[in-house]
């Protein structure tokens, strides 16, 4: 054992082909950096068996599954029952990622909204946290999340949060969490860092979204879970904490939200 503080990468994509040649080494590098737990996200339900296998083969790796909003037009519409059935696996810890993305796929907005409501219902039924992707759709995301929460509560994390202050406040008002990705560490992300700094530390998670969005000093290259530590160091500065305390507190936040991961760590 070392004295390296332990931290969680709450959102990565270990099944993506970017990692096919060295997945074991990438997981080992993450552990060496103190990233002892990871949630790998399935974005198309047809790929769920492969994502499940990665989680099942590696202690400290958990998974979630859903239909990414940018894939909704190309995939069969999931049902709450589909997602509830998948959730019975002990390493399945979240619903999604779902959400709305109008940047490239605004033509499928109606289907994305239908899919989002399906995922919310699954989160409500299972008690597992919803994982939200939001891009250029802040008003609709805030409206739907709020409407649905009034209809029946559920927990949620705004993954890779990079939206505006109004959506951050709406999410926090609902009791949701904001997750910091490498974007928050980019030099020009001053406004985004201000949004995070105004949030309660008890609602902050850290992630990579690997293989995307590598933080400095790796920006522009493939991201990997070990790089969680670079974003977390920026987060620690933002909240006036030392790195070890920030790692401890965000890991406790993860345990609170992803309670199944906390209670079944290492389950195969």
pLDDT in tens, 131-156: 999 999 999 999 999 999 999 999 99
Q: List residues bridging with 101 in a β-sheet.
A: 135
**Which of the 8 DSSP states describes residue 63?**
E
Contacts 24+ apart (CB under 8 A), 213-219: 213/160, 213/181, 213/182, 213/183, 214/182, 215/181, 215/182, 215/184, 215/185, 215/186, 216/182, 216/185, 216/186, 216/187, 219/182, 219/186
CB 87 within 8 A of CB 95: yes
Report the pLDDT value the prediction gives residue 1, as an integer from 0 to 100: 41
Checking DSSP bridges between strand 177-180 and strand 156-158, what pairing results, if any? parallel
Does any domain span residue 201? Answer: yes
Does any domain span residue 2? Answer: no
Task: Read off the pTM.
Answer: 0.95
**Which of the 8 DSSP states describes residue 71?**
G
Q: How far is the C-alpha of 37 from the C-alpha of 45, rounded, in Å?
A: 23
Please, what sign has the CA dihedral across residues 197, 102, 82, 142? positive
- 247 SS3 class: helix
pLDDT in tens, 84-138: 999 999 999 999 999 999 999 999 999 999 999 999 999 999 999 999 999 999 9
CB 52 within 8 A of CB 41: no
Report the pLDDT value the prediction gives residue 267, as an integer from 0 to 100: 41
Does any domain span residue 268? Answer: no
Report the pLDDT value the prediction gives residue 263, as an integer from 0 to 100: 86
CA distances to 16, 63, 84, 114, 196 from 203, in Å: 28, 21, 26, 27, 10
Token pair belonging to 228: 């969680």
Does any domain span residue 258? Answer: yes
Does any domain span residue 53? Answer: yes
Q: How far is the C-alpha of 4 from the C-alpha of 239, rounded, in Å?
A: 20
Report the pLDDT value the prediction gives residue 129, as an integer from 0 to 100: 98
Low-confidence ranges of the chain (pLDDT < 70): 1-2, 265-268
Q: Which residues contact 49 (CB under 8 A, 6 or more apart)?
A: none
Q: How far is the C-alpha of 138 from the C-alpha of 135, rounded, in Å?
A: 7
Nearest to 32 by CA among 62, 2, 57, 10: 2
Does any domain span residue 1? Answer: no
**Domain range enclosing 134:** 7-263
Does any domain span residue 228? Answer: yes
Does any domain span residue 187? Answer: yes
Token pair belonging to 92: 């399945």
Backbone angles phi, psi at 94, to 5 degrees: -160, 165
Q: How far is the C-alpha of 72 from the C-alpha of 38, rounded, in Å?
A: 25
Report the pLDDT value the prediction gives residue 42, as an integer from 0 to 100: 98
Q: Is the omega angle on the peptide bond into residue 217 within 30 degrees of 0, that is, cis?
A: yes
Token pair belonging to 143: 């409206």
* CATH classification at residue 161: 3.20.20.140
Q: How many domains does the chain have?
A: 1
Q: How far is the C-alpha of 221 from the C-alpha of 35, rounded, in Å?
A: 19
């Amino acid at each position: 054992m070392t004295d390296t503080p332990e931290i969680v990468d709450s959102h990565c994509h270990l099944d993506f082909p970017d990692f096919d040649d060295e997945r074991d080494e990438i997981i080992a590098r993450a552990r060496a950096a103190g990233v002892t737990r990871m949630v790998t996200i399935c974005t198309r339900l047809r790929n769920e068996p492969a994502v499940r296998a990665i989680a099942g083969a590696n202690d400290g790796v958990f998974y979630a599954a859903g239909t990414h909003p940018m894939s909704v037009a190309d995939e069969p519409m999931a049902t709450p029952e589909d997602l509830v059935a998948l959730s019975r696996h002990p390493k399945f810890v979240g619903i999604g990622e779902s959400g709305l993305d109008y940047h490239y796929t605004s033509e499928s907005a109606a289907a994305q909204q239908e899919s989002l409501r399906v995922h919310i219902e699954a989160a409500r039924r299972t008690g597992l946290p919803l994982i939200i992707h939001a891009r250029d759709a802040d008003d609709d995301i805030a409206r739907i999340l709020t409407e649905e929460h009034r209809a029946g509560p559920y927990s949620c994390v705004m993954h890779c949060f990079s939206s505006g202050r109004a959506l951050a406040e709406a999410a926090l008002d609902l009791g949701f969490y904001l997750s910091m990705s490498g974007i928050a560490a980019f030099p020009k992300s001053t406004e985004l860092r201000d949004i995070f700094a105004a949030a309660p530390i008890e609602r902050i998670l850290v992630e990579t979204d690997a293989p995307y969005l590598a933080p400095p000093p790796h920006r522009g290259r493939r991201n990997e879970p070990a790089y969680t530590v670079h974003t977390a160091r920026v987060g620690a500065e933002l909240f006036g904490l030392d790195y070890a305390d920030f790692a401890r507190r965000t890991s406790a936040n993860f345990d609170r939200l992803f309670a199944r991961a906390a209670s079944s760590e290492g389950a195969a």
